[in-house]
Amino acid sequence: MENNVLTIFTRIRQRLHTTALSIAGEDNADDVLQDAFCKLWTLKNMLPDQQQTERIAATIVKNVSIDYLRSAHRSAQPANVCGATDDAKEQDMRERFDAVKRIVEMQLSDTQRRVLWMRDYEGYSFAEIAAAVDMTEENVRQTLSRARKLIRETYKNIN
């Protein structure tokens, strides 16, 4: 399988390079490909077939590109000397989140909470939610809209 991995990677290298270029940028694209090939090489004995190898290679290149992008973003951020500003922002965000969480728990009905959770946290479509809660899609939209409106109004009143 060693020779096969090399052949497949060489054949799809241009496509992988384009992916790395679009995500990680021109400076990192070659490094991404090299790291991706090293990771793919470690999996060489577990790769079942050519199509699967191509898919895995594309996924590895995408993930490594994102890693390079994240590391570049982290190193580009200025270091906060005292750290107090970040801590204050984080504490403020935590307090806001807790306030909204209390509103959801205390003010919304069970149906509103369930619809809100399914849509915003689990990413269900309106049709999937409607089937799960035994409502029409229009009722799901209306319930979600009313729940969000109640959260907004209650949050504004307490702040």
DSSP characters over 77-101: SPPPSS-HHHHHHHHHHHHHHHHHH
Identity of the amino acid at 113: R
Q: What is the pLDDT of residues 34-78, one digit of tens each?
A: 988 888 888 878 777 888 888 888 888 888 888 888 887 666 655
pLDDT computed for residue 145 by the predictor: 95
pLDDT computed for residue 47 by the predictor: 77
Report CA dihedral (59, 62, 63, 66) to the nearest 10 degrees.
-170
d(CA 16, CA 35): 12
**Lowest-confidence region among 25-34, 74-83, 95-104:** 74-83
Q: What is the pLDDT of residues 107-140, one digit of tens each?
A: 889 999 999 888 887 888 999 999 999 999 999 9
Identity of the amino acid at 30: D
pTM of the model: 0.47
Report CA dihedral (96, 102, 107, 109) to the nearest 10 degrees.
120
Angstrom CA distances, 49 to 4, 55, 109, stand at 9, 10, 51
* Mean pLDDT along residues 83-96: 77
